[in-house]
Amino acid sequence: MEKELQSIVARIEPADSHWEKLAWERLRSQIRPRGSLGRLEEMAARLGAIFRSVSPSVSRKIIFTMAGDHGVAEEGVSAYPQEVTAQMVFSFLKGWASINILADHVGAEVRVVDLGVASDLPEDWAVIRRKIGKGTRNITKGPAMERHEAVRGLVEGARLVMDAVQDEGFHLVGTGDMGIGNTTPSTAIVATLTGKPVKDLTGRGTGIDDAAWNRKVRAVERALAVNRPNAADPVDVLAKVGGYEIAGLAGAVLGAAAVRTPVVCDGFIATAGALIACQLAPFAKDYLFVSHRSQEVGHGAMIELLGLSPLLDLSMRLGEGTGAALAISLVEASARVLRDIKTFEEAGVTDTGR
């Protein structure tokens, strides 16, 4: 699968600056004061560059919620037991959870992917089955997974998105996660890539108390000391301190960029995946929108490293793809701004040049 991953990365080109210029020309000619729609205009111009069009459509939207378990959960780093991962997958499939309600609100389909849930999910569950292993190994004792497993997770995530776009006609992708304990490997990833102290990047996850927070900090510090992930090799970082669902999330960003499709990542865990993707393929960032600023303290370091501004700041820290769902509505609005607002010439309105 290394060759397939290399092929996907090789397909990723920069968004088209010529079409971005054309988008800005249209935006500045519309019947309103120039710049009056603020960041919606910036998003619209980015969509113009991505789609190579001044009339983009993002009406078909899909969110992939990637699920996986983590061996490091045995270190007592979460407020919830590991079996909650599978239980929440069931809730997603039944349409009961936060992601289902918010995705329905914005007209997005939700697909749940098992990349590494620890238990065997029943055959009658309508989950996308891409299981690489039954949870990662405990990163405080050794690597989370083998390198070939990390590569497989990247490729699986990319395939899912590329197929959805090319075969089913989706225009906009969101990414979300489910996995008890997954803020711990996400913290290890951002600590590796930024070099910042672990304690400055470690948050409360599902709402852990001080004792659990201290265990979490120590777990991440041990994971980095034991595994010594190579910050210059994102696949090594993913394999040593990542997660199966984080691999899928990273692959989803790569897949979207490879087929010139905007992708909206959720919060802390999904952004960890986006970081891995953008380290592998820097131009992938041209297709990426960070949905919101997570309450997880390490998220600020992630978005600083990416150099992207979150679209929302709502004090959220849930995951699942909930932030992506809300931000998708803004991306869709920005597409309509570019496409549907008339220009002064089209509307016959006097332009004062302001």
- In order along its 354 residues, the chain shows pLDDT tens digits of 899 999 999 999 999 999 999 999 999 999 999 999 999 999 999 999 999 999 999 999 999 999 999 999 999 999 999 999 999 999 999 999 999 999 999 999 999 999 999 999 999 999 999 999 999 999 999 999 999 999 999 999 999 999 999 999 999 999 999 999 999 999 999 999 999 999 999 999 888 999 999 999 999 999 999 999 999 999 999 999 999 999 999 999 999 999 999 999 999 999 999 999 999 999 999 999 999 999 999 999 999 999 999 999 999 999 999 999 999 999 999 999 999 999 999 999 999 988
In a domain, 287, yes or no: yes
CATH number of the domain residue 255 falls in: 3.40.50.10210
The span from the CA of 166 to the CA of 326, in Å, is 24
User: Which one is catalytic: 320, 332, 345, 346?
Assistant: 320
Q: Extract the runs of DSSP E, i.e. beta strands, from the chain.
A: 61-68, 108-116, 128-129, 172-178, 263-265, 288-290
Q: Which domain holds residue 36?
A: 2-55+339-347
**Whether residue 28 is found in the same domain as residue 111:** no
The domain tally of the chain equals 2
pTM of the full predicted structure?
A: 0.98
The model's pLDDT over 163-187, given as tens digits with 9 standing for 90+, comes to: 999 999 999 999 999 999 999 999 9
Active site annotation includes 320: yes
Distance between start and end Cα atoms, the chain: 54
The span from the CA of 296 to the CA of 318, in Å, is 10
In a domain, 353, yes or no: no
**Whether residue 207 is found in the same domain as residue 117:** yes
Beta bridge partners of 64: 111, 175
The model's pLDDT over 191-238, given as tens digits with 9 standing for 90+, comes to: 999 999 999 999 998 889 999 999 999 999 999 999 999 999 999 999
